[in-house]
Amino acid sequence: MKKHIIGALVVLAGLSGCSHKPDCCGPLPPPPLPLPDMAERVARVGTLASAVVDTVHFATDRSELSDDAKDIIFRQAQWLIRYPDATVTIDGHADARASDSYNYALGIRRARAVKDYMVKAGVEDERVTVVSSGEVDPVAYGRDTVSLSLNRRAVTKER
């Protein structure tokens, strides 16, 4: 039994001695590469839709921007500022609960709200056009709350 304890101590002493030898364990791996910042990722991707979120959503019968929408639009504006030759069209949409003419006008108000915020963020007015699809081009079919909310949106598309 005494031999086993002494043998274990010798092995432990030998292992702990490894830390005193500079190259016993091999070189340390290189540090991880830093993550690219948002601007570098956008430069590699190159298109608006693949670089940032292209859709913002609205409350029922409203065209005011939420804080989340403002954050998305600000990122879109940063992309447009980085690529001064790019132009976009903002397409406003509505759910199908009102008349066609009302939903068309609501889509225009939503698209203009997005454009106005982009322009305030530094994008030139002439680079952004607005259109409305009203209720014509839904992304979700149905009369449930989720479907209706998904259709109340403005989508920014590169031209």
Spell out the domain ranges in the chain.
Answer: 40-158
Residue 18: closest CA among 28, 29, 26: 26
pLDDT band of residue 47 (cuts 50, 70, 90) is low
The C-alpha atoms of residue 153 and residue 34 are separated, in whole angstroms, by 36
pLDDT band of residue 63 (cuts 50, 70, 90) is very high
Q: Which CATH class is domain 40-158?
A: alpha beta
26 three-class SS: coil
- Residue 132: the pLDDT is 97
7 three-class SS: helix
The C-alpha atoms of residue 21 and residue 33 are separated, in whole angstroms, by 28
- Residue 42: the pLDDT is 45
- Residue 130: the pLDDT is 98
The C-alpha atoms of residue 28 and residue 85 are separated, in whole angstroms, by 46
The C-alpha atoms of residue 49 and residue 28 are separated, in whole angstroms, by 40
